């Protein structure tokens, strides 16, 4: 717990449970404890109804708030790049490092406006026991979903992920009247690279390019491998001018990339086509306009960017 008079602490849930075991075993079940057992059973049943991490943690927060007035919950799991905060994270807090069968399940913090006594901490830790197995299942589900939406070579999103992202972003653009743009990128003379240096060098070039693209974009932007040596970038809340600036920055970064095959430096370049979403336009139409702009860039000599016509 964090308070003016107490040092911060991070508690492994298993260690915390063992620490309180002797005290718990010496107690007899009172009427209140029977009621708490019923709440735990209700919590366990509710946590079995979802594999979505955000909903699972929302259920947990709602239920444990019946034990003690909690004002916030924060959770992060670096392995699946997941973070969630419910409520305003201030006041007293207790932190738990969660694990199950040797698997790290992330870091959980619970916040309260008032000091949380040991008796309530014991109940919270019993409630956390109910969370561990459903949380592990939800993390495994998230990992499986993430794997199914990633290109195995480059780590970029695959075409299925791109279709989902475009559906979401076009809906947001329509609903909030905010711009959204895409960039279609094609590596220049990629077949020649494969023919001269081999497919392993080609694969390495694609990996290096995908990494470079992620480094050049904001966290809210997305990178997808469209197929072969083509990538599609989805730029949230970005109009044509912003997309053109990003595309040119990426073109220059690819051209300046230090790509080595053995001890030989190989120059790479890319052509890019940009298109900004128009109201009521389909995904296919948007992609087609970006592809036409890309075709124009390659037709005019490659290693350049072009904007799509409306």
Q: What is the spatial distance between Cα 53 and Cα 141, in angstroms, rounded to a whole number?
A: 9
State how beta strands 259-261 and 82-87 pair.
unpaired
Residues 6+ apart with CB under 8 A from 230: 184, 185, 186, 187
Q: What span, in angstroms and rounded, lies between the C-alpha atoms of 91 and 114? A: 7
- Here the tokens at position 48 are 């079995």
Largest Cα separation within the chain, whole Å, is 83
Tokens of 4: 């003016």
- Residue in 63, 125, 169, 229 annotated catalytic: 229
Residue 239 in tokens: 């109009």
Beta-ladder partners of 94 = 110
Any catalytic annotation for residue 229? yes
**Cβ 178 vs Cβ 237: under 8 Å:** yes
Tell me the two tokens of residue 170: 């076009």
Which residues are annotated as catalytic? 229
């Amino acid at each position: 717990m964090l308070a003016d008079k107490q040092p911060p602490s991070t508690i492994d849930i298993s260690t915390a449970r063992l620490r309180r075991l002797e005290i718990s075993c010496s107690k007899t079940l009172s009427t209140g404890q029977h009621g708490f057992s019923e709440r735990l059973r209700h919590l366990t049943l509710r946590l079995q109804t979802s594999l979505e991490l955000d909903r699972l943690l929302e259920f947990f927060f709602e239920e444990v708030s019946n034990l003690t007035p909690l004002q916030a919950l924060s959770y992060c799991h670096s392995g699946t790049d997941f973070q969630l905060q419910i409520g305003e994270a201030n006041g007293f807090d207790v932190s738990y490092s969660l694990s199950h069968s040797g698997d790290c399940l992330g870091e959980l913090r619970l916040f309260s406006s008032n000091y949380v006594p040991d008796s309530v901490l014991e109940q919270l830790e019993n409630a956390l026991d109910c969370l561990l197995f459903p949380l592990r299942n939800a993390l495994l589900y998230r990992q499986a979903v993430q794997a199914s939406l990633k290109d195995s070579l480059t780590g970029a999103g695959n075409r299925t992920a791109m279709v989902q992202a475009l559906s979401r972003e076009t809906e947001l653009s329509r609903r909030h009247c905010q711009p959204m743009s895409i960039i279609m990128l094609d590596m220049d003379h990629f077949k020649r690279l494969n023919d001269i240096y081999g497919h392993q060098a080609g694969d390495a070039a694609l990996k290096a390019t995908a990494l470079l693209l992620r480094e050049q974009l904001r966290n809210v932007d997305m990178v997808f491998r469209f197929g072969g040596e083509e990538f599609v970038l989805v730029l949230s809340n970005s109009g044509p001018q912003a997309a053109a600036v990003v595309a040119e920055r990426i073109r220059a970064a690819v051209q300046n990339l230090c790509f080595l095959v053995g001890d030989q430096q190989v120059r790479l370049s890319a052509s890019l086509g940009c298109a900004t979403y128009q109201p009521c336009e389909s995904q296919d139409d948007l992609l087609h306009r970006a592809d036409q702009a890309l075709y124009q860039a390659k037709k005019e000599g490659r290693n350049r960017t072009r904007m799509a016509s409306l």
